[in-house]
Amino acid sequence: MRLLPPHGPARVLTLGTLVKTVGRGLWLVSSALFLTRSVGLSATQVGVGLTISALVGVLASAPSGYLADRLGPRGAQVGGLIAAGTLTAGLIAVRSFPAFLLVGAATALADAVERGARGALIAGAIPADQRVHTRAYLRATTNVGISVGAVLGGFAIAADTRAGYVALILTAAAASLAAAAVFVRLPTVAPVAAPTQGPRLIALRDRPFLAFTLLDGLMSMHFSLLTIALPLWIAGHTAAPAWMISALTLVNTVLVVLLQVRAARSAVTLPGAARAARRAGVAIALACVLFAASGALPTVGAVGLLGCGALVHVIGELWHSAAGWGISFGLAPPDAQGQYQGAYGMGYELGKMLAPVVVTTLALGWGVPGWLVLGGLFLLLGALVPPVVRWAGRTRATSPADEPVTV
């Protein structure tokens, strides 16, 4: 795999994404500690605030994408990043729960604008046959950036002082502003005129696309298997050593960086993307079975099954991500890429909201049967994507994809 995409918009997008996600990594490792240890909020208040912010992000996704179509995606993305950076810096002035709710909700709105604009910008600046490939580079870059930010943030967290947390928050804010400066170098993508008749938010009336968005969003709950369910499962239900938690996370990060671009090659058309989604469901279901079985074996066997499960899971993760990009771009009309990418992001945000409750209740509350239920759920979700894509093809006079939708 090439370390960087070719010169041009794809490389600028990659550089800007790296800068932005280093800041995101800093934010992820520092925000909860800053809010509890420095601001003085309770863990419950932080959880409620983050849930409300996530809900704002879900509700704002499609309208924000529509805004990107009307204003032009480059300007919308740059504006979203500037707003997000400014609001992140404003966190250092937060002294109460209501203030946290206000800043958090406003930041979620800015993030929603940036997400919807990013998809429309890729659709407008990158040739159709390179969009999924470019998204794969950006995802690999995201993993690198977040990992770097998390490592850098660890040094300040170790000091556990308000000055250290404030420095992390301000650095994360500066990263958003710096990313905006990078994205200004992208070519201008002309805004699309608002429709003169009919509904404005057509993505929210496109039933096949919304069905796919729901399936994909629920499938995205598998990301929380590795970050939430598996660490608790390893620590409390297996004989595996605790270091396996970090080892599996590291393996996942490295493999995504190395293999995401290659995995995306099979999802550049609608038929290929639909098949990739089906394969993803099979792989993630198999990973759930392996994780479940790890609880019944001694240390060596548990380590082996957990390692195999993590490898199978990351393969499913790679296919799932590539499939989502291929289908979301392929089903979107050229004049509504922003709102369609925003609606697609709405599914992911919904899955992110539901995942903590679903995966902990099933995998940890129910144990082995719960893991098997999760596996069956992911298998079903993946299997439903191809017929939904065929349904979408029948509702369009001509498929937006480069070839007929025959899955």
Distance separating alpha carbons of residues 379 and 69, to the nearest angstrom: 35
Please identify, among 150, 183, 216, the residue that sits at the C-terminal boundary of a domain: 183
Mean pLDDT of the region 335-349: 87
pLDDT at 222 over 50: yes
Q: For the chain, what is the domain count? A: 2
CATH of the domain at 153: 1.20.1250.20
Report pLDDT digits (tens) over 193-202.
Answer: 766 665 667 8
Tokens of 385: 């994507």
Pair 346, 220 in one domain: yes
Tell me which residue range forms the domain holding 333.
202-394
Residue 64, pLDDT score: 84
Q: Does 14 lie in the same domain as 111? A: yes
Q: Is the pLDDT of residue 182 over 90?
A: yes
| Residue 407 banded pLDDT, cuts 50, 70, 90 | very low
191 within a domain of the structure (yes/no) = no
User: pLDDT-derived band of residue 397, with 50, 70 and 90 as boundaries?
Assistant: low
> How far apart, in whole angstroms, are the C-alpha atoms of residue 217 and residue 156?
34
Residues 218 and 338 in one domain: yes
Distance CA 92, CA 99 (A): 11
Tokens, residue 85: 């950076």
Nearest CA-CA partner of 346 in 250, 210, 236: 210
Q: 208 and 150, same structural domain?
A: no
Question: Which of 148, 183, 218 is at the close of a domain?
Answer: 183
Of 341, 352, 396, the C-alpha closest to 114 is 341
Query: Residue 71 — pLDDT band, cuts 50, 70, 90?
Result: confident
Rounded CA-CA distance 132/393 in Å is 19
Alpha carbon distance 126, 9 (integer Å): 7
Residue 282 has pLDDT above 60, yes or no: yes
Q: Are residues 178 and 214 in the same domain?
A: no
What's the average model confidence in pLDDT over 28-43? 85
Q: How far is Cα 177 from Cα 172, in angstroms, rounded to an integer?
A: 9
The 3 state secondary structure assigned to 201-213 is CHHHHCHHHHHHH
Alpha carbon 328 to its chain's center? 14
Do 274 and 385 contact (CB within 8 A), yes or no? yes
Distance CA 303, CA 291 (A): 10
Q: Are residues 353 and 237 in the same domain?
A: yes
Q: Are residues 230 and 302 in the same domain?
A: yes
AA letter at 257:
V
Residue 250: alpha-carbon gap to chain centroid:
18
Domain boundary among 183, 213, 237: 183
- Asked whether residue 195 is domain-assigned, the answer is no
pLDDT tens, residue by residue, 301-326: 999 999 999 999 999 999 999 999 99
Based on the fold, state whether residues 297 and 225 are members of the same structural domain. Answer: yes
Rounded to two decimals, the pTM is 0.82
What is the C-alpha separation between 297 and 239, in angstroms, rounded?
A: 7
